[in-house]
Structure 1
Amino acid sequence: MRSACSRQVQVALSVLVLWISALVCAPVRAQGTHTVAHMDIERNAEGLFLNVSTEFSLPGLVEDALQKGIPMTFVADAEVVRARWYWSDQIVSSVHRYMRLTYQPLTQRWRLNVSASPFDTSGLGVSVGQTYDQLPDVLGAMQRIAFWKITDSSDLDDRSSYRVHFRFQLDMSQLPRPLQIGALGRSGWNLSIARTERVPALAAP
């Protein structure tokens, strides 16, 4: 029995290695435009809230990996910085939103889990998940972030202006180790979008 189980594990590992090797060596397909189409920062009595819309298509190698059952993790970062003429800029807050995208071959459906903290080894952790029938539907959900609180009002000074740096990218550190090595320097894995907007002071200094 143990011998049979060992052979099954070896076969499964061999298949995985072949998949990863095929992905690493696969030709790179052309990529579409990756950009932040809209970014709006709302300031109210509770703090700063970010509304952002991005436009991107999955790089060919990323989509191929997903189709083969390898999950992909994306992360959105928002950093609030206070400009100071007398000293270096001050980082007021830094928040993150993690998105884990998986494809389920048996049901041919897509699963998106969203979390405010990195996913644990199970790939879940404390997260909210939703299932989609088509890839464009799940990408649409990933491309829009609405009313995301990025800092509290207690951290803001009405007399100071701020800059908000937003970035969305594929988290390469979450890829299987062979893919991390093979993806280094390959444009077919690149997905990174960034934009900065200024938040003016509410009162004169």
Structure 2
Amino acid sequence: MSRRIKQFIFVGLMALSIFSTAVNAEGIKIKSFELEKVDNDWLLNATFQIELSPGLEDAVQKGVVLYFQTDFELTLSRWYWFDEKPSSAQRQARLSYQPLTQQYRIASEGFSFSAKTISEALQAVGSIGGWRVIDNSQLDPSKAYTASLHMALDLSKLPKPFQVNALSSREWNVSSDWFRMPFSAGGSNLIKR
């Protein structure tokens, strides 16, 4: 292989790695996930890192309200039938921008918070604490469960013109992968990254 071809391949691979790093920088990643027993309930504490594309940040500043949906599922595997779901829960966080006060507003589960920057606002959206997801009476301590967590931008709550744009553009499809961890009613249930 000639030296020129090797250089061309090397430059192409470098450009591809830079592009893939830029693409992977946007999205949602789970940083920590913990299930904590308090009285007769299991509470979920989690932290997500949310990165929006410049286009989405611009849309928020121009008045588009973004809704982030977090889904939790507790499943019990069964070899003879579909998996059993003893518990599942959903919650929404609403992110908007107030041009008069030049602040971002976050609302979730009756809680509201104001932030001066988009990064502070996204940090607030990505912080979940004390979310009741499991009633201990639903659990059998002798069985091993799987706890799953996921967060995504809820495209169905966008205004209709933006929903059409979201179908054709990857930058509007912001979500985390499903994160799964083993769960037992009597053990430690903490994952940190």
Scaled to the shorter chain, the TM-score interval is 0.7 to 0.9
Distance 1:103 1:30, change over 3 A: farther
Match of 2:136 in 1: 153
AA matched with 1:67: Q
- The answer to whether the 8 Å contact 1:40/1:52 transfers is yes
What is the rounded CA distance, in whole Å, between the counterparts of 2:139 and 2:23 in structure 1? 45
Select the structure that is richer in strand.
2
TM-score with structure 2 length normalisation?
0.77
What is the rounded CA distance, in whole Å, between the counterparts of 1:156 and 1:182 in structure 2? 43
AA matched with 1:108: Q
Q: Deviations over 1:52-101 (max 9, x none)?
A: 11112112222111010111111111111122234321011111111111
Determine helix, strand or coil for the equivalent of 1:192. coil
| 1:135 has 2:135 as partner | no
Q: Deviations over 1:82-138 (max 9, x none)?
A: 2223432101111111111110111101111103xxxxxxxxxxx322222222221
RMSD after superposition? 2.2
Match of 1:105 in 2: 99
Determine helix, strand or coil for the equivalent of 1:196. strand
Determine helix, strand or coil for the equivalent of 1:92. strand
| 1:67 has 2:51 as partner | no
- The answer to whether the 8 Å contact 1:29/1:59 transfers is no
Identity %: 32
Q: How many residues align?
A: 165
AA matched with 1:174: K
What is the rounded CA distance, in whole Å, between the counterparts of 1:169 and 1:33 in structure 2? 9
AA matched with 1:136: S
Residues 89-98 or 128-137, more deviating: 128-137
- The answer to whether the 8 Å contact 2:141/2:184 transfers is no
What is the rounded CA distance, in whole Å, between the counterparts of 2:172 and 2:82 in structure 1? 34
Give unmatched runs, 5+ long, in structure 2.
1-21, 188-193
